[in-house]
Each structure stands twice: as C-alpha cells, then as structure tokens.
Amino acid sequence: MSDRPIPFAPGEHRRSFIAVEKEIARTIKTVSGYMTNHTPEEIESRIRKAYEYSRDAHDGYLRKSGEPYIVHPVGALAELLSLKPDLVTIESVLLHDVPEDTDRTISDIEEEFGHEVAHIVAGVEKVSRLKYRWEERSIGSLRKMFIAMSEDIRVIFVKLADRLHNMRTLTYHEQSEKQKRIAEETLNIYAPIADRLGIFGMKEALENECFRHLQPDKYYAIRRELDAMRSNQEIFVSRVSQKIRKLFEERGIPVRDVSYRVKSPYSIYKKMARKNLERVSDLYDIFAIRIITHTVADCYDILGVMHNRFVPLPKRFKDYIALPKENNYQSLHTTVVGIFREFEKGEIDRRQPTEIQIRTVDMHERAEIGIAAHFTYSEEGASSVSTEVQWVRELKNMLDETKDSEFFTHMKINVFDDRIFAFTPKGEIKTLPKWSTPVDFAYSIHSEVWNHTVIARVNDKVVPLDHELKNGDRVEIVTDKNKRPSIIWLSFVRTTRAKEVIKACINREKREELIEKGRFIMNAYLERHFGKGLDKDLSLLRNLDGHILSTREKEDVLVQIGNLSRKPSSVIRGLDPSHTAMIQAATKQASEAGTRRAAEALTTTGSPTTLQKIIIGGERDLPYFFAKCCRPAEGKKIVAHVGRHGIKIHEAKCPSLRRSNNDRIIPAHFENDASDGMSLEIVITLRNNLGVLRQLGDACYSMKLNITDLHTSNLGGGRMECRLTAYAETEDYYLFDRLAERLKFSIPVIEEIELIHMG
C-alpha cells in the first residue's frame, strides 16, 4: 500500500483529512482480510477510487460540525464494516451523498463505477429525500422506501450506516426540535428495520443514540449505573469463563469462546419502565453469558450439562435453533439459578437467575450481522445479497398485494411486529405476526381452508376465531364447504394475505351488508365527534377527494369504511372544505360553550363539576375540578390528579404536575376526544346460571374491555336481563360484533345481545 498525499487544508481541516486517510487505510486492511475473491490490489484500487471521487466532489463543503464533508461518508463506511460488505456496497456508501449535495449526477457515477453502484446510490438518494412521520399520511413515502429496499437490500444497508453516523453527530444540529424529530423518526423507522434484518449491533446503536437525545437524563443515569457495575461484571465473567471451560473440558465438549453481553441502556430503560423499577441493579438479567461452540450437537450437549449442573427456570428456555427467528437468528437461550455461588459477593447478586446463550460460530456471526451474512461472492468476483431471505420475500408480496390506503397498517403489523411459530396437526411450522388468530393461520395454509373456516382448535381445545395465538400452539382448522368468510373477521385478522382474500370475497358477495356496516360506522363516528350523522342521500359524501360522487360511488365509500379499507377520519379530511369548515365550526362552538359552563360552575359553586363528560380511569360521572393553573379545554390531552380536595383535571403537560407523585396521576380524556377509546352499552338476556356474571366479566377482560357499569333485573323463569357498559382504550367500530361473537361462544346460556349505544 503506497502512501498518498494529504490534500491541503488549513488547521483543523488538515487534521480531519489525516484521520480520514487513516480510516480508509484501516478499511482496506479489514476488507482484504475477509474478501478473498478479490486481490488486495483490486480492493485498494476500488476503495480509493470511490473515496477520492467523493472527496473531490465534496471539496469545499463542510458539515455542521465544521469538518470537511468527506468525514461523513467515511464515518458511515466505518459503521458499515461490521457487516463485511461487498465492494459495491462500500463504493456506494462512500458515494451516497454525491448526487444530492454536489454537481455530479447518477449518470456520472454510473459511467465511473457501473450500473450496480449507481442503482444503489440512486435508491439511497430516493430514500433520503423522504420525510417520515409515524402517521398515516406518510404511507406514500414509506412505500417508496420499501420499494427501494426490496429491489436491492444493500440500499438499506447504506441508509442505516448513513443514519447511524448522522445520529452520532446529531448534537451539531442547532434546533432541538429537529434533533427530536430525527431521533423519533430513527426510533420508529430505522431501528425496527435493522432489527427485522437481524443487524443487532446497528439496531442497538440506533436505539441508544435516539434514547440519548430524546431522554438524556434517563440515558445518562442508566449509563452511570452500568459504569459503576462494569468492574464487578468483568471480574465475575472472567472467573465464570474459566469455570465453564473447565466444566466442559472434563466432559470432552469443545467450547470456542465464553463471553458476555450487557443489555443496552435503551433495553434496560424499557424493561425498568415495564416492571416499574427504579434502579438498574433491580434487574437480574442485565447481562447474559454467551457460550460459542462448533456444532449444533455441541450446543445441545452444553445445554444438557448446564441444566444438570444448575437449576433451570421453567418457561425461560427458548430453542431458536430448531425454530429460528424471522431474521434467521439461531441460538439456545436458557436461564439458570445458582451458577457459581462462590461469586455471590459484590454489587451483583449471583443468587439471582443468569441467562445463558449457546450457539455455534456461524450462528454467532449471523446474530451479529443478520441478513448481511447472506452476502454471496462468485468466482468471477461479483457479489450480491440473497433475495430469498423470507422477510424480503414477504416485503415484496406486501408491496404487490396492498393498496396505499392500507399499506401503513400492514407495514406496522407485517414489518415491525415480532413473529410467532404455530404448528399444523402434522407438525408443519407456520410463521405469523404476533397477535395472529386461527383465521390468520387458516389463510397461511391453502384456499380450501381459507374461506370455509368454522371452528378452530388450539392445543386440542376449541377457541373463538379471534383467539390470540401463542408461540408453539398446535392449531387445527375445521371447515365447512357451505360456510363463507364473515365481515367480522376483517376486524381481527393480522396478516396482509388474510385481509386481502377476505376483503375480495366479501366485497363480491356481501356488498349490501358492507354498505350498511359502513353507514353504521360513519354515523357512529360523526355522532360521537360532531353530533350529527349522515342523511339518507349521503349528502356529506357528495364532494369527496376533489370529485363529485354519484350514488354508486358514495356507496363505494361506505363499502371501504365497512371493510376497514378507509377510516372515517380520512373521509372527513377528504370532504369539500365548506363541509369540513361547517363541521369544525359547530364542534368548536359546542366545545367552547361547554368549557365556559364548566368554568362558571366551578367559580360560582366552588364544588366539583361534571358538565363536560370526562372519562377518568375508565369511569364516568366522577366529580372533578378543572385546574386553574392550566385550564384544560376539550381537544387537549389531559390527566386526572387525585388530591386531598378531590380530583383535578390538568393538561397532560402541565408544569405543576412535575412535583406530583405519579401514583396520584391517572389517565383521563374528554368523552368526545377523537384520539381516545370508546364505550359500549349493551343489553343481554340470558339464563341466570351459577357463575354466569363471572363468565361475563372474564369474556370482557379477555377483549381488554373495562366494565364501568352493570345492572341486572330478574325476568322470571330463571332468566335475567343484564345492562352493561364497558370501556375500550381503542376506537373500534367492530367491537360490539366481536364481543357478541365472543359472548355467544363462551356463554351458551345467552339468548339475546342488543347494542344500545356506542361512542
């Protein structure tokens, strides 16, 4: 490797170029070490050519940090090296900002570096132009991003490296709001993508950088605790390592390496919040011991020894070797108690459970770099990433099968959700999104099962069709050729395939039923939020999305609402401005009048008021005061503070709450708040059998419904009427249909269920 002259730059710029040159030299050495299908000379030539082209193109450009711009692409390359990328990806990351920031074009890059590099750089440029919000209006931008990814997964490798280096230098952005927006975008979009691709190192680094910027106090508090515990951990693990090696040497089981991994600050924060813990040391699984061996058989031998030598915790064993994760992660996970009790002294209590991870060398590499382990190299020197990885195939199918109006929902479910494994009666594995149902399972099999499902058995027990499947469930589907899909299924199935096939079937066979359901949902939404529903001519829908609609087209809109392809809120946004202004004016006037009456009542009587309907912790008609410090109005996010003098309603961000005990703050919202949940009032006629009210409560609990009011009356002859009000935290206009199905399934003595009110 020959020395290269450093371009002239004054003062600190010269030092920056020296550092960049050293990083390029390190990169060339690293790549030459793992890439054997190219000569060291070719590797150096191609990397230096891309680097110098980018450096010259960015000449005179500075970053917000004051450094030469070339520092960024070289920094992004350093983030990427752990994935052992091919030369095309390396060239692309060095060139990724050239077309966007300089006068060089994609055509110029194609001429110098070939079509493959130009294609990736163009894809990265396209993704970089998109601005995201974790909201429905961003679906077009997100779809374009996933299209670019599905065409060549290396686009997202480059983009992840670019984003990670930018996150590490985010402090140089002067606007704190922009820092927050970029961090939230990264946490919601890029970190989950890295997770799905199995690129654990990048996922963890992205999450921690976001955590550092979004909640710096909590981040640094956790870091201080981890730093204080580090010396004890290192001493403990070094001794444990010796013991483990000796343990397996005595049994003739080869162990390649014993190490440990510490949970990231963000993972620790989430677990502490979930368990309501105050100190990091309150967690027993801050770190896990990792045992690397040679073969799969060795992994299971090691597991057997660990379970014989120590006490394994039930329900804490996971076999990701037999059942790999969606991103192809494989490992054995177990948790044992009593590992090396002689090390119990110190800040870390070793009597608590310890997690053990056991895997082969190949599994460990895949665990570290995920899908990047699928880089393949031909004898001619060409390289690529396998397009047969299951998640990439699913991504392409989702793009092909899903309309823009539904892409956002399906993306969150199918791309960012965890996965579960379920089995057919013959032992065939089906991979599904978390919270999938037997109907989703049926649609993963074949068409004879899809549309004729009538009964589901999970682990030999008959369950409702909206039952939530768990990992390892054995599912049997009973069919009837005379049965067809139900509209209700659309409200609980999770998979894109199930939604699309069900929708196609009911759109064709049950149009009138969908129109009526769409009318019901739209009326319920309008009456809940604006006090007035649709007229018989659907006049409100006459001018929608900039078009004058015919009667048939208005009904088509109701069909879309009924089959959940379109939300009522999106219809309101698409109305003619005159209609929207009229609705909003009426709502604002009613809201202001209600706030004024409530304030007058409080001023004149000095006692709690309930003129404005506010749901407090799921309860209605509780007396409350409006806090004078913030005077919350309808449309604002609110909470309730329980004090000595009663309940006060504050804005959620009221500064005076910072001094309050969190135990005294409970959720609250205005009854007409569009962003919160909804209530159901139903009347049930049933036989008054022993335990029937408990069954009723269990059924509501299983659907996450909070019963807020319950009255019963004797009808004679062993029959009774039950009037029930329940609250759900989500706005779901199929809620009554699902509840009715669930109640009829679980309580056979029910004779009739009637909906009185939903809102």
Q: How many CA atoms lie within 13 A of 96 on its CB side?
A: 32
Q: Which of 199-213, 398-412, 701-715 has the weakest average pLDDT?
A: 398-412
Active site annotation includes 282: no
250 and 191 both lie in a single domain = no
Domain boundary among 549, 575, 601: 575
For 489-504, the pLDDT digits (tens) are 888 888 877 887 888 8
What letter does residue 617 receive in the DSSP assignment?
T
For residue 750, pLDDT beyond 50: yes
When pLDDT is cut at 50, 70 and 90, the band that residue 377 belongs to is very low
504 and 543 both lie in a single domain: no
> Which of 570, 550, 529 is CA-nearest to residue 672?
529
pLDDT at 28: 94
For residues 22 and 162, state if they share a domain: yes
Quickly state the pLDDT bin for 605 (edges 50, 70, 90): very low
For 639, the 3-state DSSP assignment is strand
Residues 36 and 176 in one domain: yes
Residues 609 and 747 in one domain: no
Q: Are residues 110 and 41 part of one domain?
A: yes
Question: Which comes out higher in pLDDT, residue 662 or 694?
Answer: 694
User: Is there a domain that residue 383 lies in?
Assistant: no
Domain at 430, CATH number: 3.10.20.30
Is 78 a member of any domain? yes
Instruction: Report the pLDDT value the prediction gives residue 596, as an integer from 0 to 100.
Output: 42
Q: Residue 220 domain-assigned?
A: no
Q: What is the pLDDT of residue 686?
A: 92
DSSP state of 172: G
pLDDT, mean of residues 636-645: 75
Buried/exposed code over 416-435 (b: 16+ C-beta within 10 A; e: otherwise): ebebbbbbeeeeeebbbbee
Can you read off the two tokens belonging to residue 608?
């709690």
The Cα 647–Cα 660 span in angstroms is 13
Asked if 714 contacts 465 with a C-beta cutoff of 8 angstroms, the reply is no
What CATH code is carried by the domain that includes residue 364? 3.30.460.10
Is the predicted pLDDT of residue 4 greater than 60, yes or no? Answer: no
The DSSP H or E segment spanning 374 is: none
Q: Within a domain: residue 635?
A: yes
Q: Which of 194, 214, 234 is the last residue of a domain?
A: 214
Judge residue 96's burial from the number of C-beta atoms within 10 Å of its C-beta, 0-12 exposed, 13-18 middle, 19 or more buried: buried
* C-alpha distance from residue 324 to each of 197, 329, 431, 475 (Å): 13, 6, 10, 19
Smallest Cα–Cα separation from 348: which of 287, 273, 268, 270? 287
Report the percentage of the chain scoring pLDDT > 70: 77
> Which domain CATH number covers 83?
1.10.3210.10
The reported pLDDT for the residue numbered 91 is 95
Please check whether residue 393 lies inside any domain of the structure: no
Q: What is the residue-wise DSSP string for 389-449? A: -HHHHHHHHHHHH--HHHHHHHHHHHTTS-EEEEE-TT--EEEEETT--HHHHHHTT-HHH
CATH number for the domain harbouring residue 715: 3.30.70.260
- 95, 142: one domain: yes
Averaged pLDDT of the chain: 79
Q: What is the pLDDT of residues 195-242, one digit of tens each?
A: 877 788 899 999 999 999 988 999 999 999 888 887 777 777 777 788
Q: How confident is the model at residue 395 (pLDDT cuts 50, 70, 90)?
A: low
Q: Is residue 412 part of a domain?
A: no
Task: Examine residue 356 and state whether it is found in any structural domain, yes or no.
Answer: yes
Q: What pLDDT, in 10s, does the model give residues 324-341?
A: 876 678 899 998 887 755
Residue 219 lies in a domain: no
The answer on 110 and 28 residing in a single domain is yes
Q: Which of 12, 56, 59, 100 is catalytic?
A: 100
Across 515-522, average pLDDT: 91
Is residue 101 annotated as part of the catalytic site, yes or no?
A: yes
User: Which positions ≥6 away from 356 have C-beta within 8 Å?
Assistant: 288, 289, 290, 291, 306, 333, 334, 335, 336
- Same domain? For 45 and 184 the reply is yes
pLDDT tens, position by position, 112-139: 999 989 988 988 887 776 555 444 434 4
- What is the DSSP-derived secondary structure letter of residue 536? T
Determine which one of 101, 136, 513, 671 is catalytic. 101
Q: Could you list the residue range(s) of the whole structural domain that residue 558 is in? A: 510-575
Per-residue pLDDT at 94 exceeds 90: yes
> Domain count of the chain?
6
Q: Which of 363-367, 552-556, 674-678 has the lowest mean pLDDT?
A: 674-678
pLDDT (0 to 100) of residue 142: 60
203 and 114 assigned to the same domain: yes
Which tokens in the block code for residue 218?
Answer: 């909590």
Q: Is residue 303 within 8 Å of 321, Cβ to Cβ?
A: no
- Does pLDDT of 650 surpass 80? yes
Domain boundary among 342, 372, 402: 372
Are residues 516 and 471 part of one domain?
no
Q: Is 716 helix (H, G, I), strand (E, B) or coil?
A: strand
Q: Give the pLDDT band (50/70/90) at residue 192.
A: confident
Element (H, E) at 5: none
Picking from 11-20, 243-252, 674-683, which range would have the lowest pLDDT averaged per residue? Answer: 674-683
Residue 366 shares a structural domain with residue 499: no
Percent above pLDDT 90 for the chain: 23
